[in-house]
Amino acid sequence: MIKTYMFDSEKNKIIHDIDLLDRDFIKKSENLIWVDLFSFSDEEANEVAEIFGFHPLSVEDCLHYSPRAKLDNYEDYSFFVLHAVKYEEESDEEILLEQLNVYLGSNYIVTLHRSPLPTLGKVARDCLSGINTEIMKKGADFFLYTIMDGITDMYFPVLDRINERIEELEDDLYIQPTKEITEEFMSLKRTTLAMRRAILPQKKIFTSGNSTYFFEIREDTKPYFHDLVDHIEQILDSIDSFRDLVDGALATYDSIISARTSETMRVLTVISTIFMPLTFLTGFFGMNVPLPSQNSMISTIVITLCLLGVSLWMFFVFRLRKWI
């Protein structure tokens, strides 16, 4: 599906559902055109690419999922592969990365995404209602910042929930360690790693080197991208902190399990040690050979007392040595 929006600088308003075949819209540098393709088909992507003259390799990237963000600069536009995060705690794969492809030109921006994105949905609603023309009035680079700022803000609620889950698991860890706790920690570790792999390349794209960016950007928009990078660095710091907490909790879990296993093995070893002489005595006197006083009741009492005496003696020795 293709949706189009244009900010008409002369009328100072946003017009939607424009005819992209009308080249006059694109030629007017003071206007800004936003073309949004979602749940798009290959034919729709190729149609828009032909209108704007996009390179076939960039179109191929749009049609296939790419797990890594990137930026390609062409003669008169830049092509971005970005990722928004979708968090589903109850699913096997908690973190799903939704690919967002963006073409950034001097007076247009084209976005392509397979699934609906809340950030773009909000911008589209504002454009349709006409209540927020500032986003499009400030140019294509600011429009890109608005999209990226919304995508970045989607990480913070996820980070807050992950922090809560880690605190809950740390409390449960000392109460009753279970296999489910281990699985939960491993799930959190996979989640944090997936988030880091998604956002770290995006930081490199929007980080300026020697005060210059890898794509065309106006001077008055640069402070916004500086702020965006600060937010991304904050997210990365939180992710690294969570990863350390998860690793530390897993190490603590292993220590608790090892200590409990050692305690159990120590008790079982003591029990086995106590029964070793008892097994020997009962086996010796249970042999099918003649033994002295084997028909006497007294011999049975004596053997029983010997068994009890050996057991009590070993028990007191173990207690003195603090083995039990």
Contact criterion met (CB below 8 Å) for 157 and 36: no
pTM > 0.85:
no
Tokens of 58: 């960039």
Residues 80 and 179 in one domain: yes
User: Is 15 within a domain?
Assistant: yes
User: Is 263 within a domain?
Assistant: no
How far is residue 318's CA from residue 123's CA, in Å, rounded to a whole number?
A: 75
Total domains present in the chain: 2
Per-residue model confidence (pLDDT) at position 287: 65
Which residues, in sequence order, are CB contacts of 250 under 8 Å at separation 6+? 182, 185, 189
Q: Give the CA count within 13 Å in the CB-facing half-sphere of 97.
A: 20
Per-residue model confidence (pLDDT) at position 189: 84
For residue 37, what are the β-bridge partners?
Answer: 2, 112
Per-residue model confidence (pLDDT) at position 112: 92
Tokens of 25: 């819209």
Per-residue model confidence (pLDDT) at position 286: 67
Per-residue model confidence (pLDDT) at position 34: 87
Residues 79 and 179 in one domain: yes
User: Is 262 within a domain?
Assistant: no
Domain stops at, among 256, 279, 314? 256
Residues 219 and 298 in one domain: no
pLDDT digits (tens, 9 = 90+) for 188-211: 888 888 888 888 888 888 886 555
User: Is 70 within a domain?
Assistant: yes
Residues 142 and 8 in one domain: yes
User: Is 309 within a domain?
Assistant: yes
How far is residue 59's CA from residue 42's CA, in Å, rounded to a whole number?
A: 9
Q: At what angle do helices 222-285 and 140-153 cross, to 10 degrees?
A: 20
Residues 124 and 204 in one domain: yes
Residues 55 and 138 in one domain: yes
How far is residue 217's CA from residue 229's CA, in Å, rounded to a whole number?
A: 15
Residues 189 and 89 in one domain: yes
Domain stops at, among 233, 256, 279? 256
Kindly list the averaged pLDDT for each block of 10 residues, start to end, along the chain of length 324: 80 77 68 87 88 89 86 89 82 80 90 87 77 75 89 88 84 70 81 85 77 75 88 90 84 76 75 74 66 67 77 76 68
Within 10 A of 158 (CB to CB), how many other CB atoms are there? 21
Range of the domain at 79: 2-256
Within 10 A of 103 (CB to CB), how many other CB atoms are there? 24
User: Is 273 within a domain?
Assistant: no
Look up the CATH number of the domain holding residue 252: 3.30.460.20
User: Is 66 within a domain?
Assistant: yes
User: Is 280 within a domain?
Assistant: no
Residues 173 and 300 in one domain: no
Within 10 A of 281 (CB to CB), how many other CB atoms are there? 14
Residues 192 and 324 in one domain: no
How far is residue 316's CA from residue 318's CA, in Å, rounded to a whole number?
A: 5
